[in-house]
Structure 1
Amino acid sequence: ASVVTYSQLKNMLSNGSIQLFDVRSPEEYQAGHISQAVNIPLGSLEESLRLSPERFQQKFEVKAPVKDDDDIVFQCAKGNRSLKALDIAHRLGFSRARHYKGGYSEWAEKEGK
C-alpha cells in the first residue's frame, strides 16, 4: 500500500529510516512542520525530483532519493497534495514512494501541537 499511518510514520522517524518530504507551501512549512521533513512545495516537486543527486543535495541539504528507495514519504496538510506528489513520484519511477494521508493536521493533533 502506498499509504503510511501515523504510527508507521512515528516508527520510521524514530528509526531514522525515512525521507520525509513536506509538499506544502514554504509559509505553511514555516508555521509548523514535522521535525525531519524537507520542504519541497508541490509546484516544484517534479523539477526537484529530476535534479541530479548532487544538485538535489546542494538545494535541499539532504541525500537525493533513489528510485527504488522504500522509505520516501510525502506529506502535506490533509493528504490531497501528498497524493498528487505521490502520482508525480510514481510517474518519475519512484515506484515505492508512499504518502502520509493524515498530513500535518493529524500529526499536530496527535502530537498536541
Structure 2
Amino acid sequence: MEGVYINKSAIGIVDYAVVKKLSKEPQKLLIDVREPKELKETGQIPSSINIPLGIVSQELAASDQLFKSKYGRNKPNPDTALIFHCRSGVRSLKAAEAAAALGFTDVKNYEGSWLDWAEREGLPK
C-alpha cells in the first residue's frame, strides 16, 4: 500500500487571537493533543477537548455516539473547523495532518500552542 501524501500547505495556521475567541464559537473544535499528565501540570485552554496524539485518528473515526459520550461534544463533520494544539506546535501539526488524511477539510494548527497561550495568559508553561 502506498503512503498517503499530505499537502502541508492544506494545514492552516492560527494564532492566539483566533484561539482566544473560540469559547464564543462552539461550531469550531479545539483539540489539545498533549498527554493528560501534561494538562494536569499546566491546565488547558478553555473550550478545548483532550485527545492525545496517539489516539487522534481512532477517536476522529469513532461513532458519533461514542465521541459525544467521551468528549461531551458532537463528533466533528468532515467540514467542521478543527484546530489542534499541543505544547509547542509539533505534535499538533502531526494531529492536523492525521485529520486531513481522514478527510477533514478545515484543519488548522495553533502554531504557538500552549507555550504561546501560557505566556499571553500568565499561566505555567
Distance in 2 separating the partners of 1:102 and 1:33: 14
Asked if structure 1 preserves the Cα contact closer than 8 Å seen for 2:22 and 2:47, the reply is no
- Higher-Rg structure is 2
Shift of 1:17: 4.3
Alignment map for 1:20-35 (pairs within 5 Å): 20-31=30-41, 32-35=43-46
- SS in structure 1 at match of 2:46: coil
Asked if 1:40 corresponds to 2:64, the answer is no
List alignment gaps of at least 5 residues for structure 1: none
Asked if structure 1 preserves the Cα contact closer than 8 Å seen for 2:12 and 2:109, the reply is yes
TM-score (norm 2): 0.84
Counting aligned pairs with the same residue, the percent is: 37
Equivalent residue, structure 2, for 1:53: 64
Residue 44 of structure 1 aligns with an amino acid whose one-letter code is I
Moved over 2 A (4+): 11-18
Distance in 1 separating the partners of 2:84 and 2:122: 21
TM-score (norm 1): 0.92
RMSD of the alignment, in Å?
1.3
List alignment gaps of at least 5 residues for structure 2: 1-10
The number of aligned residues is 112
Shift of 1:109: 0.4
